[in-house]
Structure 1
Amino acid sequence: MLVAAAVCPCPPLLVPDVSQGAAPELEPLRAACDEAVTALVEAKPDLVVVVGPGERDAVHEAGATGSFRGHGVPLDVTLGEPDRHPGGADTPLPLSLTVGAWLLARSAWRGPVRAFEAAATGDPATRRAHGAEIAGWAGRVGLLVMGDGSARRDLKAPGYLDERAAPLDARISAALASGDREGFLAGLDEETARDLMVSGRPAWQVLTGAGAGGGLGRHRLLHDDAPYGVGYFVASWT
């Protein structure tokens, strides 16, 4: 059963070693992520599952590693503590899960952890089904859900400006603040997400599937900004 979720963005700039000179301006975002992860840990889950977009659907066990070396920083991150699952460290974590593992390592969590990589392709029903399955992995499951909003919010954004981006991100923000009561995240289609470069779609839909059984009555939006033309949201569901 899902007992708590922290929703965070996954830009590598969230890591001070990567952002360097820009680290201070991202401190409010970093602090909001820490607050959401702290609330997740305080819910005392039996298992924390980090969920984020990647190239395929795959489960990564504790001990899997990711790296920021591709961003010019000799920094590697391990997902939790190595466990007994053979081959847990064989497959590198995608960037979203690497950032998630870094955030989790900053917290007080030292318990069991796994990760689920969700491919950008795939219909919403499949993503929700993955979430329902993940919610059954332990008696009390906590999710750390990684993903960005549109990367087309202004002229300097990675995807340049698209006038549809800000209204879409506003709906994403409202859905995260309400617990997706209107089902917007649950039904967000692949084509729209691709056009507006919304990386968080598959991970958010896993979250809606995991939470479909109810139990999460408190939904807080902790951060909503687009400092580099990319929508960054932080939310806490408990």
Structure 2
Amino acid sequence: MLVAAAVCPCPPLLVPEVAAGAAPELDGARAACADALGVLAAARPDRLVVVGPVEGSAPRRYPEGTAGSFRGFGVDRGVRLGARPGGPAAARDELPPSLAVAAWLLERTGWADAPVEGLGVPESLPSERCAEAGADLAGRDERVALLVMGDASACRTLKAPGYLDERAAGFDAQVARALGAADVAALKALDASLAHELKAGGRAPWQVLAGAAGGAGLSGSLLYDDAPYGVGYLVAAWS
């Protein structure tokens, strides 16, 4: 059963070594992510599953110990999914960027509260399959927590990666309201086609969360909502 969830953005720029000058404009997002992970630790889960967007056509699991790095972003900085004392050795698979950022967040906050595993969710995965994957995750242990990685639209300004789309602000506001209220129905109802057009990579992971949270009765809190680079970054905690 799902007992807690944290929702965080996944730009590699969250990692100070990747961001030239440490990107102080993201300090608020970093602090909010740390607060959200604190909610996960307080829930004392039996298992933490990190969910993030990946390329491809099918979900992919990443066991605890899977290694990742930010070499693709010009920085020789490695991470490992789960760093509990005595935990598994690093696996051969390379974490996708979204889960590498999650591994960095867990490392930064000193996560050692429960076993960790990852689930990469294709951004094209249909809403129904996302919900099914979430329900499966929630049923795997008595107390399951999720760390859900994903960005909102990338079309908030003229200089945004996806240029300006007037629909982007409204879409992001809809997601922010749903995450802040732990509104499972609203997340399940997100338009996958619109999310794709707005380059909102978090859509599929958010709908996995919605599938996991059905019947859990969790309440939500929106901790951060901004678009410093024309990309919507949202942080929320459910407990």
Name which of 139, 152, 156 aligns with 2:155.
152
Identity of aligned residues (%): 53
Given the superposition, is the C-alpha separation of residues 67 and 169 from structure 1 closer, same or farther in structure 2, using an over 3 Å criterion?
A: same
Name which of 51, 65, 68 aligns with 2:67.
65
Whether 2:158 is the aligned partner of 1:162: answer no
Distance (whole Å) between structure 1 residues aligned to residue 160 and residue 214 of structure 2:
34
**Residue of structure 2 equivalent to 1:105:** 107
Q: CA deviation at 1:84?
A: 5.7
Q: Report the aligned-residue RMSD.
A: 1.5
Q: CA deviation at 1:7?
A: 0.3
Q: CA deviation at 1:71?
A: 0.7
**Residue of structure 1 equivalent to 2:186:** 184
Which digits, 9 at most, give the CA deviation of each residue in 1:166-211, with x for residues without a partner?
Answer: 0110101101011125x22212232111100000011000000000
**Residue of structure 2 equivalent to 1:195:** 197
Please tell me whether the aligned partners of residues 25 and 228 of structure 2 are also in contact (alpha carbons under 8 angstroms).
no
Which digits, 9 at most, give the CA deviation of each residue in 1:10-40, with x for residues without a partner?
Answer: 0000011111314222111100000000111
Distance (whole Å) between structure 2 residues aligned to residue 22 and residue 92 of structure 1:
24
Q: CA deviation at 1:83?
A: 5.0
Please tell me whether the aligned partners of residues 41 and 108 of structure 1 are also in contact (alpha carbons under 8 angstroms).
no
Please tell me whether the aligned partners of residues 2 and 215 of structure 1 are also in contact (alpha carbons under 8 angstroms).
no
**Residue of structure 2 equivalent to 1:231:** 232
Q: CA deviation at 1:213?
A: 2.2
Distance (whole Å) between structure 2 residues aligned to residue 213 and residue 199 of structure 1:
25
Given the superposition, is the C-alpha separation of residues 84 and 28 from structure 1 closer, same or farther in structure 2, using an over 3 Å criterion?
A: closer
| Corresponding letter in the other structure for 2:128 | A
Which digits, 9 at most, give the CA deviation of each residue in 1:85-135, with x for residues without a partner?
Answer: 9xx712211111110111111224212010100011121111000000001
Name which of 136, 139, 146 aligns with 2:139.
136
| Corresponding letter in the other structure for 2:2 | L
4+ long deviations beyond 4 Å: 82-85
**Residue of structure 2 equivalent to 1:40:** 40
**Residue of structure 2 equivalent to 1:23:** 23
| Corresponding letter in the other structure for 2:100 | T
Please tell me whether the aligned partners of residues 52 and 150 of structure 2 are also in contact (alpha carbons under 8 angstroms).
yes
Distance (whole Å) between structure 2 residues aligned to residue 93 and residue 70 of structure 1:
12
Q: CA deviation at 1:66?
A: 1.3
**Residue of structure 1 equivalent to 2:206:** 204
TM-score by length of 1: 0.94
Distance (whole Å) between structure 1 residues aligned to residue 140 and residue 120 of structure 2:
15
Name which of 173, 176, 188 aligns with 1:173.
176
**Residue of structure 2 equivalent to 1:120:** 123
Q: CA deviation at 1:215?
A: 3.2
